[in-house]
């Protein structure tokens, strides 16, 4: 089997990839993640997933590189990682009672033949009506400052939601494993 490399520094993506019980290494891509002018959220995550994979491929010839990128979209605006409590507060206030779309770009790059498979996997989160106190309590308990949309669905963030919709709940965390398994199967890397 070709070596697998996860082009990410995200501990959340590593935890998800561990579920497949395949040997892999991690290499953090060093790319500019700024959106282009007039680039849609779908175009952005597709481009960044592929750019992350290609950036890491330079140091890992002969490997299969997995790149992924995610954004949250609310009313056609991209919500990034909040970085601060104030930004997290604003994002959760905006999401209150709304449906937020999470788009995850996924790319596998087989460096032996330079063949890339790239897709965008959507996932939808319907937020409860959140009070200011609920938001403060949540941010204090979980500190989701490094998560798109300001929550961790694998933790207490689940209490913020009314409903989840999508093909793969792992997509919400940042690595759609169902689609990844299919992509890896296409290049003869099988989890089972």
Q: Give pLDDT tens digits along the chain (192 positions).
A: 899 999 999 898 999 999 999 999 999 999 999 999 999 999 999 999 999 999 999 999 999 999 999 999 999 899 888 999 999 999 999 999 999 999 999 999 999 999 999 999 999 999 999 999 999 999 999 999 988 889 888 889 999 999 999 999 999 888 999 999 999 999 999 988
Q: If you ran DSSP here, which 8-state letter would residue 147 be given? A: S
Are 161 and 102 in contact by the 8 Å Cβ rule? The answer is no
Q: Cβ contacts of residue 83 below 8 Å, gap of 6+? A: 145, 146
Provide CATH code, domain 4-186. Answer: 3.90.950.10
For the whole model, what pTM was predicted?
Answer: 0.90
Tokens of 124: 């939808």
Taking CA atoms, 55 is separated from 125, 164, 169, 182, in Å, by 31, 33, 27, 23
Residue spans per domain, the chain: 4-186
Q: Which of 169, 104, 91 is nearest to 130 (CA)?
A: 91
Q: State the pLDDT at residue 153.
A: 84
Report the catalytic residues.
Answer: 69
Q: If you ran DSSP here, which 8-state letter would residue 182 be given? A: H
């Amino acid at each position: 089997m070709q070596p697998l490399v996860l082009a990410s520094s995200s501990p959340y993506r590593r935890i998800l990839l561990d579920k497949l019980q395949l040997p892999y290494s991690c290499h953090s891509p060093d790319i500019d993640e700024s959106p282009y002018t007039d680039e849609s959220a779908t175009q952005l995550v597709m481009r960044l997933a592929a750019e992350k994979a290609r950036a890491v491929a330079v140091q890992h010839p002969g490997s299969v590189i997995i790149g992924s990128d995610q954004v949250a979209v609310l009313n056609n605006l991209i919500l990034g990682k909040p970085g601060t409590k104030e930004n997290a507060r604003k994002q959760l206030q905006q999401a209150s009672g709304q449906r937020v779309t999470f788009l995850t770009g996924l790319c596998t790059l087989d460096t032996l033949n330079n063949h890339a498979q790239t897709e965008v996997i959507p996932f939808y989160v319907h937020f409860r009506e959140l009070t200011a106190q609920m938001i403060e309590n949540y941010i204090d308990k979980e500190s989701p400052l490094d998560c798109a949309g300001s929550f961790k669905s694998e933790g207490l963030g689940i209490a913020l939601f009314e409903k989840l919709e999508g093909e793969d709940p792992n997509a919400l965390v940042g690595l759609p494993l169902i689609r990844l398994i299919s992509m890896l199967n296409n290049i003869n890397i099988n989890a089972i």
